[in-house]
Amino acid sequence: MTAPLLEIRDLRVAIPTATGVIEALRGVSLSVAPGEVLGIVGESGGGKSMIARTLTHLLPAQAEAQGQVTLAGTDVMTLRGEALRRFRGRSVGLCFQNPRSALNPVRKIGDQLIDRLREHAPGGDLRARAVTALAAVGLRSPETMMGQFPHQLSGGMAQRVMIALSLACNPRLLVADEPTTGLDVTLTGEILTLIARQARDGARGVMIISHDIAALSKVSDRLVVMEKGLIVEEGSTRRIVTAPRHRYTRRLIEAVPDVTTRRRAQPREDGRSVVMAIRDIDVTYPARFGRRPAPALTGVSLDIRMGDTIAVVGESGSGKSTLSRAIMGLLAPSRGEIRFRGKTMSSMRFSARRGLRRYMQMVFQDPFDALNPRMSVEDIVSDPLRLVERDAARRSAAIDRVLVEVGLDPTFRTRRPHELSGGQAQRVGIARALSIAPELVVLDEPASALDVTVQAQLLDLIRRLTERRDRAYLIVSHDLATVRALCDRVVVIDAGRIVEEGPTEHVFTNPASPKTRALLDAAPRLYTDAT
Amino acid sequence: MRIAAFIAKRLALLIPVLIGVSIASFFLIRLIPGDPVLLIVPETATEADIAAARERLGLDQPVPVQYLRYLGGVLQGDFGTSIATNRPVAMDLAQRLPVTLELVTLAMLLAVAASVALGVHAARRLNRLGDMVTRIGAIIGNSLPEFWLGIMLILLFYQGLGIAPAPSGRIDSALAVPTVTGLITVDTLLAGRWDSFLNALAHLALPVVTLAVATSAPLIRSVRASAIEVMQSDNYRCAAAHGLPEGRLVNRYLMRQTLTRLPALAALVFGNLIGGSVLIEFVFSWQGLGQWALRGMQVRDYPVIQSFVLVTATAYVLVFLVADIVQAMLDPRVRI
Amino acid sequence: MPAAAPNRPAQRRSRLEPITAIGAAIVLAVLAAGIAAPWLTPWEPTQIDPFFFLEGPNAQHWFGTDGNGMDVFARVLYAARIDIGIALASVALAVVLGTAVGLPLGYAGGWVDDIGMRVLDILQAFPVFILALAIAAILGTSLPNLILTIGLINAPPYARLIRAEVVALRHRTFIEAAECAGNSHSSLMLRHLLPNALTPILVIAPLNCGWAILTLAGLSFVGLGIPVPEAEWGAMISAGAADVVGGRWWTATFPGLALFLTVLGFNLIGEGLQQRQAQR
């Protein structure tokens, strides 16, 4: 065993706030060897980002840190001034979580890269070396990119630039803090592989911090599992994934959606009424000044029957959210029609459409953003109910009933959104949708904004609700695996068109479209043998 | 080339705004209920005088015709005739405008330079003494009535210490030079009179400082706020985490991003300066546009009021245009 | 010990920033002094003391007398009523007008919004104080007219602010959720959008009160506001401006100090509220 590159002993970080001291790290010890890829996994609030911040002296100003941190023989905690500046970059190269905001918006990519090279690895033709560095992280036209500004890059490109910037400092340890936030599954895999590859020379260490144990299991040699500022389990990736010891690790692993779990409940036989019929609709976003109108959906048709649960799956930008908004009447199709309960909804005016609202409700992706921050839970839940139920006592009873139905205690009625956790907020969102007993419920990525363990519980709630078959559900998701256990039919959408549609099991076992196969391949799964 | 196209586009967008401004200033005097002619003619006027005045002013025509005539006149440089002095308004404007512009421009330069220096300084010493002093200074500056500040400065530097010249115009009459550009600093230099130039500067000092102090508070605050925002941004922390040297960090990352937001703010401050200059000219007996307009307002000299409003608004709009262009050159994110 | 729950900031809500408290104390003190003026000084604001013209501060006239022989202290106190009164009334008017225009514009969007914004653009192309001067000169200087003038020129920024908030909120999910819940247009605007759009307005309002007082005093200073002999700070400073050159400093200094202090009070309140909002 080689001597460790990074050694952290009993690191404690406390952050005093107005409401008390938050103990972000409560005695963390870990090490990274040269040539090793260490994955740190845990949910938000687990303190894992504080490790990266301690390494680069980027803790909040009032934070107090104690413990011993040694990197390549340097005592990190006591570094100050010029010594700290030389250490930063050269010893630790940090990749920020959100690469778009971590790049200087008014400086060319090339100049930002040359800034780093000049400081930490001077010599030679800096410009030529910068171009090489961009090419080395898999960017296709590095020459053009040298003269571009950050806002001209896509999310995946920006993350590659971020990695190139960190590597330009030629660091002994590369640290990536949640490097794949906001990227889709395919890109996540590519970016993580790129980061992990940087340890291959045998001298550099790599530390990847992520909430995504499935993605980490693919690329890391060892895993450290963190919960509430403590390391609860540590070991080789293979051992942790195949034989987790701590219950928290087991929960993380169980929460990874399993693409092989089937739906237990069988769909009802045919002959049920069609709740909504979508006929050959196009949705086009209106032309803005100087821009062409952008088609978002083209020729989409779909029948939603009573008791059905349909999943609409596609990558980000495929048009799936547009479809759910068109169904809800938030967007008007430019062609075709949407019939709901026998009426042509797509051509209705706002006030007429309002009358149909009681029969259709929606649950939104970001649970906090979907709740009016100035309203109490009971006001939020009864907002649709006010339309139909004038009697306050009966409305109140309905609120209690529906809160219990989604697994919340009726005492939650007086809380405000900021007093809820993500999972609770999403349950309130579901309660609001169900309060009025609608015939159709659209769920737009209902769990994707939540922590993994909370996600599993919420999907469980949705599964139970759908199995009652007392209404129709439409679930929008970017992730095929999560919907297998939830729905009867799957609609795969790509570039605004339906590319595949069929009974769930049929689509999973016999995918006809290459897009469906790509989505299936990209589904997160645990890698039990690290390669 | 891109900038040229951008400027052309912005100029095109400016035309409806300027037309709107002209309509608004045209209708301004019609805010008052009743017949505008009665407000224009002397109180002793007879029916025939009133009818004659109505015809002379074109007020017997339909309103749109009146407006088009007015606009046509303005475009040809005819701003009407002052009721009080019977002088062409355009002549007074040409004479007075440079006087005020000189005052306002110098105050603006001083305010912007001081605000950037103080604002960035405060942000880099966040919550330390320098920052506290700057913030308190900004709140005080924001609360000071500029006309009172001017009077207090006169009290201190002229009356008390005797080091400032009397608040009675732009230059001592003995040192006066012929008017060429209307800008006293330029004219004295053109005349080759060093003593006059220094005397003019001494006269400028108090009004310029007063105006700058009274209007730079919001600039200081927003420069400080943007600098703090930049320093707390991921991109600045990332550059710091990658160990970039201090000088580069401050120049290329902090200053560059902070300055990007400055032009629009400076343009807003220009509007405050133009407004404030009316009061300051009053305090320092500065024979500029403000003093002239004020006299017109006190006697309800409508052509004067109308032209003053139109000219200041046009200047304000043009300053915003310049700010837009500068911003577009500084910020690559602005779609050109 | 478990980590402190981060999502319960409930207690923080009621706490005031210290500078807000200082500012509020200043404004309340000035207002109280204005209301209690008859008990604080034996002099009426327009009462002439025939034995004292332009006398410096003394035992009888704490702040001295002006060129008319009126007591400066009494006038400074009484002026608080009119200055603060007009400021509050005109800012209230501006908020109401601005909301009435900005809320529907932001909600409607599309061409209605475009036209509305262009009109606001044009109104805001005029430097505010110059517009105030011109309107005051044309409307005349009665009390209601001054409130109307200052309120009117102040309304466009509020309309813009409310509209910007509403436009930003309009596409927030919770507004879409409210639309899905079946709310009517008016319910969406008043029940869901307005309460969320109001915060920045209320933060700006105190700063605006300070600004409104400065505007009123500025108008009076050049003779287009409250006319002499009514007690108003700006008019008093104007009357005292000429005395300064002769070394009689008190007639302009004291009303100016009162004016400055009051505006400072409002600005401190505003500053504190802004800081609080920034911390959120």
Per-residue pLDDT of A178-206, as tens digits, reads: 888 777 777 888 899 999 999 988 889 99
Domain ranges of chain A: 1-91+174-191+205-256, 99-170, 274-521
Instruction: Please say whether the beta carbons of B212 and B114 come within 8 A.
Output: yes
Q: What is the count of residue pairs from A and B with beta carbons less than 8 Å apart? A: 86
B137 vs C contacts (CB less than 8 Å): none
* First-to-final CA distance of chain B: 11
Q: Categorize the per-residue pLDDT at C150 as very low, low, confident or very high, splitting at 50, 70 and 90.
A: very high
Q: Do C125 and B21 touch (CB under 8 A)?
A: yes
Least confident of A183-192, A276-285, A299-308: A183-192
- Given the candidates 3.30.390.30, 3.40.50.300, 1.10.10.10, 3.60.10.10, the CATH classification of the domain at A274-521 is 3.40.50.300
Q: What is the CATH number of the domain that holds B136?
A: 1.10.3720.10
> Is the pLDDT assigned to residue C89 strictly greater than 70?
yes
Query: ipTM of this predicted complex?
Result: 0.87
Single-letter amino acid code for the residue at C176: E
pLDDT band at C90 (very low <50, low <70, confident <90, very high): very high
Domain boundaries, chain C: 83-278
Q: Is residue B39 part of a domain?
A: no
Residue of higher predicted confidence among A1 and A448: A448
Query: Is there a contact between C10 and A26 (Cβ–Cβ < 8 Å)?
Result: no
Verify whether the Cβ–Cβ distance A429 to C177 is below 8 Å: yes
The structure tokens listed for A173 are 């340890």
Amino acid at A482: T
Contact B31 C135 (CB under 8 A): yes
Q: How confident is the model at residue A63 (pLDDT cuts 50, 70, 90)?
A: confident
- Three-state DSSP class for C30? helix
Tens digit of pLDDT at every position of chain B (336 positions): 567 888 888 888 888 888 999 988 888 877 666 666 776 677 777 888 888 877 777 777 788 888 888 888 888 888 888 877 888 999 999 999 999 999 999 999 999 999 999 999 999 988 888 899 998 899 999 999 999 999 999 888 888 888 888 888 888 888 888 888 888 888 888 888 888 888 898 899 999 999 999 889 889 988 999 999 999 888 999 999 998 988 888 888 999 899 888 888 889 889 889 999 999 999 998 989 999 998 888 888 888 888 999 999 999 999 989 998 888 888 887 765
Query: Can you give the pLDDT at residue B34?
Result: 62
- The pLDDT-based confidence of A268 (bands split at 50, 70, 90) is low
Give the residue among B294, B232, B236, B228 at the shortest CA–CA distance from B261. Answer: B228
Which of C2, C8, C184 shows the shortest C-beta gap to A419?
C8
Shortest distance between the Cα of A419 and any Cα of chain C, in A, equals 6
Give the nearest partner residue to B147 out of C218, C253, C271, using CB atoms. C218
In sequence order, which residues have a C-beta less than 8 Å from that of residue B85 and are 6 or more positions away? B301
CATH number of A1-91+174-191+205-256: 3.40.50.300
Angle B113-B116-B118 (CA atoms, 0-180°, nearest 5)? 100
Measured between CB atoms, which of B144, B271, B320 is closest to C260? B144
* B167 contacts on C by Cβ (under 8 Å): 245
Give the model's pLDDT for residue B33.
Answer: 62
Contact A515, A490 (CB under 8 A): no
Return the amino acid letter for B301. D
Contact criterion met (CB below 8 Å) for A38 and A219: no
In a domain, B78, yes or no: no
Amino acid symbol at B230: V
The token duo for B22 is 């002209």
Q: Enumerate residues 6+ apart whose C-beta is below 8 A from A434.
A: A361, A402, A405, A406, A441, A465
Min Cα–Cα distance to chain B from C162, Å: 19
Q: Is residue B245 part of a domain?
A: yes
Range of the domain at B132: 95-292
> Which residue of chain B comes nearest to A60, CA vs CA?
B232
How far is it, in rounded angstroms, from Cα C1 to Cα C19? 35
pLDDT digits over A40-57, tens only? 998 877 788 899 999 989
Q: Which of B241, B252, B332 sits opposite A58 (nearest CB)?
A: B241
A377 touches chain C (CB under 8 A): no
Task: Say which range, A396-410, B25-39, B160-174, C100-114, has the weakest mean pLDDT.
Answer: B25-39
Does B217 map to a domain? yes
User: Does the pLDDT value for residue A154 go beyond 50?
Assistant: yes
B282–C221 CB contact, under 8 Å: yes
Q: How confident is the model at residue C6 (pLDDT cuts 50, 70, 90)?
A: very low
Interface chains of chain A (3 or more CB pairs under 8 Å): B, C
In chain A, positions 226-255, which contact chain C (CB-CB < 8 Å)?
228-229
Count of the separate structural domains present in chain B: 1
Coil, strand, or helix at residue A225? strand
Is 50 exceeded by the pLDDT of residue C11?
no
pLDDT tops 50 at residue C2? no
B325 phi and psi angles, rounded to 5 deg: -70, -45
The verdict on C68 touching A (C-beta cutoff 8 Å) is: no
Q: Could you give the CA distance from residue B208 to residue B203 in angstroms, rounded to a whole number?
A: 9
- CA-based nearest residue to A54, from A20, A22, A81, A25: A25
Partners of chain C (3+ Cβ pairs below 8 A): A, B
Q: Which CATH architecture has domain C83-278?
A: Orthogonal Bundle (1.10)
Q: Contacts of residue B333 in chain A, CB cutoff 8 Å?
A: 105-106, 149, 151
Answer whether B235 sits within 8 Å of A104, measured CB to CB.
yes
pLDDT one-digit tens code per residue, C218-273: 999 988 888 878 888 988 888 888 887 777 888 888 999 999 999 999 999 988 88
- Among C4, C174, C180, select the one facing A371 at the smallest CB separation: C174
First to last CA, chain A: 20
| Nearest CB partner across the interface for C267, out of B24, B143, B151 | B143
For residue A441, report the phi and psi dihedrals to the nearest 5 degrees: -120, 125
Cβ B241–A103 below 8 Å, yes or no?
A: no
Q: How far is CA A117 from CA A102, A136, A188, B240, in A?
A: 17, 15, 27, 14
B242 touches chain A (CB under 8 A): yes
pLDDT of residue A206: 95
Counting Cβ atoms within 10 Å, is residue A523 exposed (0-12), middle (13-18) or buried (19+)? middle
B254 — contact with chain A (CB < 8 Å)?
no
How is A460-508 classified by DSSP, letter by letter? Answer: HHHHHHHHT-SSEEEEEES-HHHHHTT-SEEEEEETTEEEEEEEHHHHH
pLDDT band for C4, please (50, 70, 90 cuts): very low
Measure in Å the smallest separation between the Cα of B274 and chain C Cα atoms.
Answer: 7
Task: Choose the closest CB to C181 out of A21, A228, A432.
Answer: A432
